Structure 1
Amino acid sequence: MIRRRSLLGAAMALPALPGLARAQGAEWKPDRPITLVVPFAGGSGTDAVARILAELLGARIGVPVVVDNRAGANGTIAAVQAARAAPDGTTLFVTTNTTHSANPSLMKRIDYDPVADFTPVARVGNLPFMLVVGEEVKARSLRDLLEMARKSPGQVSYASGNSTGIVAGATMARMAGAEMLHVPYRSTPPAMTDVMAGRVTCMFVDIAAGLANVQAGKLRVLAMSTKERSALMPESPSMAEAGLEGFDITSWNGVFGPAKMRPEIVATLNAAIRQAIDRPEVKQRFAAIGFEAFSGPPETLDSFVRAELVKWRELIEAAGIEKE
């Protein structure tokens, strides 16, 4: 298990708002630091988002925030830890569609329920994914890559460090009618390392995790996983433009607490997150790391998760992925 903790002070970039809870009709303030449990390792896109969020939330609520990376088992280790925590607002889960959309359809057994075992707090935004290859790979476009895969069945491989990488890779192979080898990893950083080293041909990686390596010339972008071009990478074609019409897969981030959190706790945390993210300079800060930041009320996240469970089940079934 990879564990990484980082204590971020409360008095950081934004001023604390002593009257925040009262202004929102709530009277809650934590009496100890808040822990943000993250289901992926340091260096992943969700980790980068959580660390900015920790700074913002600490400044708004007025207590330090701890980021606790609990990578492994496709996010289930972190999910179980967060679900079993006391519902007092001091343990939150910063997670994605891996634990809360895809795992029930990817895994034969998970020891948590993404709806019943959690309290929705706030949507945070989206993590657009890009299909990348290492600099030594000859393919200069998606069509080139798929032609390689069709000519050499099982010789072109794709890495994955999360459910989006798993499902996007399998969907690409199915839609292209190509046999491709899946190479799974515990998290995104080691998967990227092997793609850059040429041990794996390609992978779908979120912009937040992969952008620095793209800019350094260590990875080359062939396409974006979304239906339309991403505003964060406008020069890169969508998968549909690049040759796979109808391909549209992206990842999202949200904040949850354990089940049965009191309404005033949820209201305070939701207000703090939304007031921070709504600031233009904060949106720009997230955009700089490849994250589309936005938020909304807890009820919106709840209905969104229920719909995403259905969507990802359909994606996984269509890709022919069997539960493991």
Structure 2
Amino acid sequence: MHPKLLGACAFALCMTSAPGASDAVAADAPYPNRPITFVLSAAPGGASDSVTRMLAKDVGTRLGQPIVVENKPGAGGIIATNAVAKALPDGYTILLTFPQAVLNNRFLYSKLPYDPLRDLTFITEVSGGVMVMTVASGLPVTNIRSLLAYGDKHGLTFANWGPGSYAHLVGAYLGKSKKIDVTPVSYKGEAPMLQDLAGGNVNVAVSSLNTALPFLQSGRVRAIGVTGTQRLSALPDVPTLAEQGLSEREYEMTGLVLMMAPAGTPAQILLRLEKETRAAIDNPKFRARLQMLGMYAIGGGAAHARKHYDEMYPVQQRLVEISGAKLD
């Protein structure tokens, strides 16, 4: 038995005749018998927060218990991820996070307070979000070809939402692979990044559709490509990067939302969470909401999530190495 669970069970035995003992022995009752917490490594108000709250409501209904969403943003997902990695593995503390926290950070930091594969276990991938490459509307660029031509002559200032972010890594990779002088410019989030792009202070950025859409609709920025393998229904005239010759795996990256639990969580609880989460993901209303946010449903379960993780591992390692990013 996991040492944290062992301690909890020992405590429960000591308290069986004490007031409130039913709470102490809750671990022995059918799962779930009390509220569950989804810990999200993002701030309130964004697309991932919206998705997580919608998912929590549906999964909670299916499980017969309320699910509380606790936002723990910061440090590239380390704060939230570490909190769940250290939590009791009883199925009541679940992590919703992104590849940076459990994959990229392995290369960005020389030491992490957790080991993603030792301290956590996969439940499922929830959703993916295609990223949009945009340029300032005043820049004489309409597609990847003209962006590369402009960059070859003038260099590029490539905005990102923080060192080590996908936007930072893909900008560095573009510069290296196409032999273009690319200068990274970091911001504290996508919104201020796009504000500066709209003002013409930087040349190009990569962001989520949800954040970019108001800027695109106002005409202040222009979309020149999307990541992933297919076009966005919201931007049907904008080709993928692959269609424009950027076909390497490094350009396919999407805004992935992962669901994980502390290692040692009983198998039957993991299977129950996977089953109910996948059912919620298959809900047409959930999928329609994702589409409105420029996202798509994944599901697939634990085995699929681990397989995808293993496939992404060498890609992200190359991106970090090429960028030279270190966050220690």
User: Under a length normalisation based on structure 2, what TM-score does the superposition of the two structures give?
Assistant: 0.80
> How does 1:1-324 map onto structure 2 within 5 Å?
27-32=30-35, 34-153=36-155, 156-161=157-162, 163-231=165-233, 233-246=235-248, 248-251=251-254, 252-317=256-321, 319-324=322-327
Counterparts in 2 of 1:137 and 1:72: CA distance versus 1, 3 Å: farther
Between the aligned partners of 1:151 and 1:28, the Cα distance in structure 2 is: 62
Letter in 2 for 1:221: A
Distance 1:279 1:160, change over 3 A: same
Shift of 1:273: 0.8
**CA gap 1:151/1:116 in 2 versus in 1, 3 angstroms:** same
Q: What residue in structure 2 maps to residue 22 of structure 1? A: none
Select between 107-116 and 299-308 the one with higher mean Cα deviation: 299-308
Report the number of matched residues: 296
Higher helix share: 2
- C-alpha displacement at 1:169, in angstroms? 1.6
Alpha-carbon shift at residue 137 of structure 1 (Å): 3.6
Distance change in 2, residues 1:208/1:89 (3 Å): farther
Taking the aligned partners of 1:37 and 1:189, their CA distance within structure 2 comes to: 23
Instruction: Give 3-state SS (helix, strand or coil) of 1:173's partner.
Output: helix
220 and 62 in structure 1: CA distance in 2 versus 1, 3 angstrom threshold: farther
Relative to structure 1, the CA distance from residue 30 to residue 212 in structure 2 (aligned partners, 3 Å threshold; closer, same or farther) is farther
CA contact (8 A) 1:123 1:295 kept: yes
Counterpart amino acid of residue 117 in structure 1: D
User: The residue matched to 2:257 in structure 1 has which SS?
Assistant: strand
- In structure 1, give the amino acid aligned to 2:276: A
Percent of pairs with identical residues: 27
Distance in 1 of aligned mates of 2:146 and 2:213: 22
The change in CA–CA distance for 1:170 and 1:281 in structure 2 (over 3 A counts) is same
Shift of 1:196: 3.0
Distance 1:49 1:289 in 2: 9
Q: Specify the code of the residue in structure 2 equivalent to 1:156.
A: T
Asked if 1 retains the 8 angstrom alpha-carbon contact of 2:128 and 2:296, the reply is yes
> In structure 2, what is the Cα distance between the partners aligned to 1:62 and 1:136?
53
For 2:290, the aligned partner's letter is F
CA distance in 1: counterparts of 2:107 and 2:237, whole angstroms = 34
- The root-mean-square deviation of aligned C-alpha atoms, in Å, is 2.5
Query: Please, which runs of 5 or more residues in structure 1 have no aligned partner?
Result: 1-25
1:58-77 residue CA offsets vs partner (Å, 9 max, x unmatched): 22223333322222222212
Aligned to 2:299, the other structure's residue is in SS state: coil
The answer to whether the 8 A contact 2:167-2:205 is kept is yes
Q: Which runs of 4+ in 1 moved over 6 A?
A: none
Q: Report how far residue 186 of structure 1 moved.
A: 4.2
State the distance in 1 between where 2:298 and 2:323 align.
Answer: 33
Query: Which one is further off, 268-277 or 82-91?
Result: 82-91
Counterparts of 2:37 and 2:201 in 1: how far apart (Å)?
Answer: 36
CA distance in 2, matches of 1:60, 1:198: 48
Contact preservation (8 Å) 1:131, 1:204: yes
Alignment check: 8 A CA contact 2:159 2:193 kept = no
Secondary structure, in 3 states, of the residue corresponding to 2:258? strand
Does the 8 Å contact 1:97/1:163 carry over to 2? no
Which residue matches 2:11? none
Alpha-carbon offset, residue 118 of structure 1: 0.7
TM-score, normalised to structure 1, is 0.81
Q: 2: distance between equivalents of 1:218 and 1:67?
A: 34
> Take 1:88 and 1:168, find their aligned partners in 2: how far apart are those partners?
38
